[in-house]
């Protein structure tokens, strides 16, 4: 196990990326185990572990990029991670709304709908709650 | 309620955008009520309401852009709106076919498949009917 | 010379696509003469020549798709063609503005800037003139 | 039936594109029969049939482009065709992994997950088998 | 002048968006003065002015989205704005590097090259300064 | 210097990627030296160096993906590398033509025009020469 992988797994755990590990041990890991490893090593081991940008800001980067590009699966993982790191729901809603400016309304509408369950629960609705 | 919103809702009703309102009062509206409002105000209240391009031509713009970019949900809403405004099925099929030139065959094939039910019914099949 | 090519060239001439022919006889035609021919045959010979959507509406499709996808060279050719067919400048400005909804503000801002010279001249400025 | 169509169908059969024909005789063919024909004529009849690039290399082009652009349906058809032509699973996995460089990790992860069943079976797992 | 516009201009000034105003009073404003106004009103007047995400985080969203989507002109404006708001060069370099994960290496390499002059000067080089 | 970097540089030299090194020692390397290193390590050191797909096929993947996505700078580097590895001009022209199917005609036309000088010289023109 490389240092890069170990560092990556460590970051993924700080992000409570249980779901990523789950994803990476299933379909992708079955067909391309080396790529599942690289998908930990490069993003998390090489980049997220660097000084110069804290994890919360890195999750803003991930969410803004993934919503703009329309990658729903990965967007959900990073929205969950951002909430885990302490971001509020309304911050995430603001990020997703703002992507309408750069990637268009459909991308932003899709992103908000795809993360609906992560951004609501029984006790609070919409942007009025944390 | 802003003038822009009122104007936007008025346009949406001319487009028989029942389904949009439905969409906007459910998932997106729950997580981001202000964005649901903006998604009426800016596209419909600010742009569609302007002179200089009639609603039928605006729906051609919407369908061509959404098919090229691969946004299925919004494409369906605008195909339904265009039919409501009097566009024929074969006109819409021609628009979707032409997007193959600019965005590639997969985008056009997906768009045609995604709108299959809107573009066929029991009494007529394919481009041979209105 | 195939019927499809002849039909395509005929359409291109109706669109006053002098600039396309120029383009197609230079760089692309030098490296890929067969592709230059196909780029007339398929879009113009096969699609534009079909009944069911008139040339003016086909140019709206082209402009909306190309602006959304960010293809500046081809956008300029089709804006010139649309003007030739009788579209007004303000119609074209409205089309380009509307693409901001689907593809984002940067795509629309770029499209408007790239077509600046085609959409202005000495005697009139902006959307206040034909 | 045009020579181009006949040539295209012949290529499609060499690719064992049963699934394409199936696709083309269903949804798309119902709403746009002429486009279903064009989707055989241009890609297969005009391009694949040309000398200068063999079918196996053409399938690499298709798979790399479709994975990068995120077109899942068409990607699956071409992965199946490449396997039929004699490509090994591990070659296809390598192609899909490499697209991460150009189109990002999410595109490559999605492509690998979407082709999971085509790239695994009971007797072998992952890149360890043909 | 609408409240939204006034609010937008006020934000733009906080971002020291002199270059945006310059841009908006030239090419785009000449062909589409109303769109130049809307490009202040919606992004800055409606979104940036909202509580829930501070201006520095909004600039991270803008930079991540624009780099991923490949919009060079607007990227440069927002990198300049982020520096003005107090972001360090190395933070911006980290953001641009991270977009390689989501949008691919070419998008990130282009973004870094396009902002080269904004991210270097005589007294310091690369990520070793400020 | 990591093994991954050494392996990557070795591959880059086999591809005669002089121009890449040049690129990587200039703008990008100045603002983000670590990223210039990663852009050797991951694509070339981790992926290109793997068994399972030879360098010539890897260059087909790169060219097809980059042409479809519209990344001109990187496309040119890989077209030059493919020629160096022994690909013929007409093979590369066929690859670029075929991307019209997946990414649309404008992407393919742009790719062919952008590589015009690499695909022609004094002694031979177009696809009639090696």
What is the C-alpha separation between D101 and D99, in angstroms, rounded?
Answer: 5
pLDDT of B127 reads 38
C5 reaches D (C-beta below 8 A)? no
From A96, which residue of chain E is nearest by alpha-carbon distance? Answer: E61
Contacts of D111 in chain F (CB under 8 A): none
Inform me whether the pLDDT recorded for F113 exceeds 80.
yes
From B103, which residue of chain F is nearest by alpha-carbon distance? Answer: F104
pLDDT of D1 reads 79
Residue-wise pLDDT tens digits, F62-92: 999 999 999 999 999 999 999 999 999 999 9
Closest partner CB to F66 (pick from E70, E106, E127): E106
Contacts of F102 in chain B (CB under 8 A): 104-106
CB neighbour list of residue F54: distance below 8 Å, 6 or more residues apart: none
Shortest Cα distance, chain C CAs vs residue A99, angstroms: 9
CA E82 to each of CA A63, C66, D118, E12, E59: distance values in angstroms, whole numbers, following the listed order? 18, 31, 46, 12, 6
Inform me whether the pLDDT recorded for C36 exceeds 50.
yes
Inform me whether the pLDDT recorded for B91 exceeds 70.
yes
Residue-wise pLDDT tens digits, B41-54: 999 999 999 999 99
In 3D space, the residue among E119, E97, E129, E120 whose CA is nearest the CA of residue E110 turns out to be E97
Residue-wise pLDDT tens digits, C114-128: 999 999 964 443 333
Shortest Cα distance, chain A CAs vs residue C99, angstroms: 9
pLDDT of F1 reads 79
Inform me whether the pLDDT recorded for F122 exceeds 50.
no
Q: How confident is the model at residue E1 (pLDDT cuts 50, 70, 90)?
A: confident
Q: How confident is the model at residue E42 (pLDDT cuts 50, 70, 90)?
A: very high
Q: What three-state secondary structure class fits B130? A: coil
* Helices E55-69 and A89-103, packing angle to 10 deg: 40
The percentage of chain C sitting over the pLDDT mark of 90, rounded to a whole number, equals: 78
What is the C-alpha separation between D113 and F97, in angstroms, rounded?
Answer: 28
pLDDT of A129 reads 43
Tokens describing residue D121 = 């079976």
What is the C-alpha separation between B57 and E39, in angstroms, rounded?
Answer: 23
pLDDT of C126 reads 38
Contacts of A38 in chain F (CB under 8 A): 42, 46
pLDDT averaged over every residue in chain D: 89
Neighbours of chain D (3+ CB pairs under 8 A): A, B, C, E, F
Closest partner CB to F106 (pick from C31, C33, C74): C74
CB distance C58 to B98 below 8 Å: yes
Shortest Cα distance, chain B CAs vs residue A59, angstroms: 19
Longest dimension (CA), chain A: 45
Q: How confident is the model at residue A25 (pLDDT cuts 50, 70, 90)?
A: low
Closest partner CB to C103 (pick from B69, B97, B99): B69
Phi, psi of F124 (to 5 degrees): -145, 155
Question: How many beta-carbon pairs under 8 angstroms link D with F?
Answer: 104
Contacts of D46 in chain C (CB under 8 A): 38
From D74, which residue of chain B is nearest by alpha-carbon distance? Answer: B106
> DSSP of C82-110, one letter per residue?
HHHTT--HHHHHHHHHHHHHHH-HHHHHH
Determine which of B95, B106, B111, B129 to mutate to test the interface with D (most D C-beta atoms within 10 Å): B106
> Across-strand partners of F124?
F121
In 3D space, the residue among B65, B19, F121, F71 whose CA is nearest the CA of residue C30 turns out to be F121
Contacts of F105 in chain B (CB under 8 A): 101-102
Closest partner CB to E42 (pick from B34, B42, B50): B42
**Residue found by looking up tokens 């946004």 in the block:** B71
- DSSP character at residue E126: G
The percentage of chain F sitting over the pLDDT mark of 70, rounded to a whole number, equals: 87
Residue-wise pLDDT tens digits, A36-66: 999 999 999 999 999 999 999 999 999 999 9
Closest partner CB to B94 (pick from C42, C53, C74): C53
Rg (CA), chain A: 15
Tokens describing residue D96 = 């899909």
pLDDT of D19 reads 63
Shortest Cα distance, chain A CAs vs residue D7, angstroms: 35
Neighbours of chain C (3+ CB pairs under 8 A): A, B, D, E, F
Q: How confident is the model at residue B123 (pLDDT cuts 50, 70, 90)?
A: very low
Q: Which of residues 92-121 of C touch E (CB under 8 A)?
A: 93, 96-97, 100, 104-110, 112-113, 115-116, 119-120
pLDDT of A51 reads 95
- Whether D103 and F69 lie within 8 Å, measured CB to CB: yes
pLDDT of B26 reads 78
Contacts of B93 in chain D (CB under 8 A): 31-32, 35
- Whether D120 and A30 lie within 8 Å, measured CB to CB: yes
pLDDT of A124 reads 43
Residue-wise pLDDT tens digits, A101-128: 999 999 999 999 999 999 996 444 333 3
CB distance C21 to C63 below 8 Å: no
Cα three-residue angle B2-B5-B6, rounded to 5 degrees: 90
How many Å separate Cα A96 from the centre of its chain?
Answer: 12
* Helices F89-103 and F105-114, packing angle to 10 deg: 150
> Residue range D88-98: average pLDDT?
98
Contacts of D89 in chain A (CB under 8 A): 31
Cα three-residue angle B97-B98-B99, rounded to 5 degrees: 90
From F109, which residue of chain B is nearest by alpha-carbon distance? Answer: B102
> Residue range C78-85: average pLDDT?
95
Shortest Cα distance, chain D CAs vs residue C93, angstroms: 29
* Helices B72-84 and B105-114, packing angle to 10 deg: 60
- Whether B104 and F100 lie within 8 Å, measured CB to CB: yes
From D129, which residue of chain A is nearest by alpha-carbon distance? Answer: A31
In 3D space, the residue among B11, B5, B2 whose CA is nearest the CA of residue B41 turns out to be B5
Determine which of A5, A37, A46, A48 to mutate to test the interface with F (most F C-beta atoms within 10 Å): A46
In 3D space, the residue among B99, F108, A44 whose CA is nearest the CA of residue C39 turns out to be F108
Shortest Cα distance, chain B CAs vs residue C50, angstroms: 8
E71 reaches F (C-beta below 8 A)? no
Inform me whether the pLDDT recorded for C112 exceeds 50.
yes
> DSSP of chain D, one letter per residue?
--HHHHHHHHHHHHTTTHHHHHHHTTHHHHH-HHHHHHHHIIIIIIIITSTTS-HHHHHHHHHHHHHHHT-HHHHHHHHHHHHHTT--HHHHHHHHHHHHHHH-HHHHHHHHHHTHHHH-BTTB-GGG--
pLDDT averaged over every residue in chain C: 89
Longest dimension (CA), chain E: 45
In 3D space, the residue among F62, F82, F83, F91 whose CA is nearest the CA of residue F74 turns out to be F62
- Whether B101 and F105 lie within 8 Å, measured CB to CB: yes
Residue-wise pLDDT tens digits, E74-108: 999 999 999 999 999 999 999 999 999 999 999 99
- Whether D106 and A73 lie within 8 Å, measured CB to CB: yes
CB neighbour list of residue E53: distance below 8 Å, 6 or more residues apart: A91, A94, A95, A98, E61
What is the C-alpha separation between E79 and E118, in angstroms, rounded?
Answer: 8
Q: How confident is the model at residue E26 (pLDDT cuts 50, 70, 90)?
A: confident
Q: How confident is the model at residue F124 (pLDDT cuts 50, 70, 90)?
A: very low
Among the residue ranges D19-23, F70-74, F95-99, the one predicted with the least confidence is D19-23
Inform me whether the pLDDT recorded for C5 exceeds 60.
yes
Question: How many beta-carbon pairs under 8 angstroms link D with E?
Answer: 18
pLDDT of C21 reads 62
Q: What's the pTM?
A: 0.93
Residue-wise pLDDT tens digits, F3-24: 999 999 999 988 877 666 676 6
SS3 percent helix, strand, coil of chain A, rounded to 5, is 75, 0, 20
Contacts of E65 in chain D (CB under 8 A): none
Residue-wise pLDDT tens digits, C14-31: 887 766 667 666 789 999
Contacts of A105 in chain C (CB under 8 A): 101-102
pLDDT averaged over every residue in chain A: 89
From C50, which residue of chain D is nearest by alpha-carbon distance? Answer: D34
Neighbours of chain A (3+ CB pairs under 8 A): B, C, D, E, F
Inform me whether the pLDDT recorded for A18 exceeds 90.
no
Residue-wise pLDDT tens digits, B18-32: 666 676 667 899 999
> Across-strand partners of B124?
B121
F4 reaches E (C-beta below 8 A)? no
What is the C-alpha separation between C67 and B123, in angstroms, rounded?
Answer: 37
pLDDT of B128 reads 39
Residue-wise pLDDT tens digits, D103-130: 999 999 999 999 999 999 644 433 334 4
The ipTM, to two decimals, is 0.90
From D41, which residue of chain C is nearest by alpha-carbon distance? Answer: C42
pLDDT averaged over every residue in chain F: 89
How many Å separate Cα C2 from the centre of its chain?
Answer: 23
Inform me whether the pLDDT recorded for E32 exceeds 90.
yes
> Across-strand partners of C124?
C121
pLDDT of C16 reads 78
> Across-strand partners of D124?
D121
CB neighbour list of residue F53: distance below 8 Å, 6 or more residues apart: D91, D94, D95, D98, F61
pLDDT of C57 reads 98
Shortest Cα distance, chain D CAs vs residue C61, angstroms: 17
What is the C-alpha separation between C39 and F106, in angstroms, rounded?
Answer: 9
pLDDT averaged over every residue in chain B: 89
């Amino acid at each position: 196990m490389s240092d890069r992988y170990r560092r990556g797994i460590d970051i993924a755990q700080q992000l409570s990326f249980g779901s990523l590990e789950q994803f990476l041990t299933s379909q992708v890991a079955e067909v391309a185990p080396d790529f599942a490893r690289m998908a930990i090593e490069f993003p998390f081991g090489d980049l997220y572990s660097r000084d110069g940008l804290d994890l919360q800001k890195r999750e803003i980067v991930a969410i803004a990029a993934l919503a703009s590009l329309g990658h729903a699966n990965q967007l959900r993982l990073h929205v969950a991670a951002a909430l885990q790191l302490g971001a509020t729901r309304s911050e995430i809603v603001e990020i997703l709304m703002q992507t309408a400016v750069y990637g268009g309304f459909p991308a932003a509408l899709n992103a908000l709908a795809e993360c609906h369950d992560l951004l609501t629960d029984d006790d609070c609705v919409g942007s009025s709650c944390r």
